[in-house]
Structure 1
Amino acid sequence: MKELTPKQKKFCQEYLKDFNASRAYKAAYKVKSDNQARANGSRLIANDNVSEYLSETMHQTKVNDILDINEVLDNLSHIAAGKPSQKIFKRVSYKGKKPKVEYDSVTTVTPEDQDQLKALELLGKYYKIFTDKVETQTDITVNIDPGDYDG
């Protein structure tokens, strides 16, 4: 893959915010016409190097968003212990053709009691702390033929 120009990188960064090629093109390049921005934005997305860069960046972002087992256990432990965490509340703007997410505020929240209990239950199951006792009744008949043991 060829190295992208600074303007192409800027276009890609802007495009990945809301997947609006026209807006991204206007942010990276000096252009006044919406039609020109739309046409050039579409053309730039079709560029092999830009397309490959966008694909790799989106794939890497997706890979980074997946929690591993230690992160899951760590998050469950924090919830079970009732540790406060920050939560981002977002607002969605429906102006234009595509909805745009606008981040509103960051607030500190403490897990609710039922969330703590659920986290404790999941941790207990993971560490096999809880075992189910099963009582069974069986009738076994054993037949021993003395001839089987003759030497």
Structure 2
Amino acid sequence: MRTKTLQTLWNEWLKASDSLLLTLHEQTVAVTLRDVERVERIRPELEMQLSAVRAIDAQAIDEAKRLAEEVGAPAPSLRGLISVLEKDEAAVIQATANKVLVGAQRIQDVMNKNRKLIESEMTYINGTLTLIARAANEGTGPYRGRPSGS
């Protein structure tokens, strides 16, 4: 089977993406609970996992291009590669590629959700700080400052 290296890389990618998804879901929980320490504790692990997934992805792309050239594919793409492979091997590669695409979409969806949650929290904090600053500057209400010398 000529595509063994590519399949191995994609399987590594799938394992790494599962781990990344778990960490992303942990980040979702931390942001939802407004647990800043937990969010900060997760960040380095998240960045490391993202780097690992990107590195595996780059290797898989290079391997797919190399393989496409080696087998004489009409185009250096997955579609071109599949068109020249034997039927069984092409089916396995296509199925694995579909799993990778679904995994990538799931990661992107959770990352977008987390980004929106974080943006929402920042808007909430900004609004709260604005209200506090406004109340402190008004000079009326139960928390107004007392004139000095009273």
- Asked if these proteins are the same fold (TM beyond 0.5), I'd say no
Structure with the higher fraction of residues in helix conformation:
2
Normalising by structure 1, we get a TM-score of: 0.31
Normalising by structure 2, we get a TM-score of: 0.31
Structure with the higher fraction of residues in strand conformation:
1
